[in-house]
Amino acid sequence: MADKYIYNNAGTLTEREGLASSAGAGDAGKIPALDAAGRLDNSMMPVGIGADTAAIASSENLAAGDFVNVWNDGGTAKVRKADATTAGKPAHGFVLSAVTSPSNATVYFEGTNTEVTGLTPGDQFLSTTAGGATATAPSASGNVVQKLGVATSATALNFEPAQPIVLA
């Protein structure tokens, strides 16, 4: 972090280092610093401002960019790869970082998935390849058709999931 210079209450110049993330009330009065992406960390934002996320235990290994399904494991929420070949595994969100099961995954429920690759700009659907997206809706009997959102480039998908439909 680059040091910041501020005047303290006595009017003298004091050197302070900025924080890239906040641990809570103990960091009150400290100077925020931008993270490696040039943005303020979500921990610096007021409640209700910033990404809509939840930390949920993974029940399988996840790759950065995977679209994920939140499911009930005996009363405990868990997350796994969404899959258009299986009814009951629609996409509820996505992850931006790889996770090794059973670690917690940060699940994003809205926003832009910037960890995808090889997309064609336009509508994207849940893929029959678990965790993936495709420009062509699945068409086999028993497949789940769920629009995930719109790809704005080969590496960015604006996630706005539609209600899944199971094909007869």
Contact 133, 126 (CB under 8 A): yes
25 lies in the same domain as 80: no
94 lies in the same domain as 162: yes
Contact 161, 91 (CB under 8 A): yes
Burial of 117 per CB tally in 10 Å (0-12, 13-18, 19+): exposed
26 lies in the same domain as 89: no
29 lies in the same domain as 67: no
Distance from the Cα of residue 51 to its chain's centroid: 8
Q: Which residue has the tokens 């009065």?
A: 29
As a whole-number percent, the residues of the chain with pLDDT over 70 amount to 91
23 lies in the same domain as 77: no
Burial of 145 per CB tally in 10 Å (0-12, 13-18, 19+): middle
The amino acid that residue 93 corresponds to is G
Q: pLDDT value at position 6?
A: 56
131 lies in the same domain as 161: yes
Q: pLDDT value at position 62?
A: 98
Give the residue numbers spanning the domain of 12.
3-44
64 lies in the same domain as 35: no
- What digits encode the pLDDT tens for the residues 18-41? 888 888 888 888 888 888 878 888
The amino acid that residue 162 corresponds to is A
14 lies in the same domain as 90: no
- What digits encode the pLDDT tens for the residues 112-154? 999 999 999 999 999 999 999 999 999 999 999 999 999 999 9
37 lies in the same domain as 57: no
- In the structure, what pLDDT confidence band is assigned to residue 8 with cuts at 50, 70 and 90? low
In the chain, how many domains are there?
A: 2
Q: pLDDT value at position 49?
A: 80
Q: pLDDT value at position 34?
A: 85
Neighbours of 56 (CB within 10 A): 22
Cα dihedral value 94, 148, 155, 113, nearest 10: -30
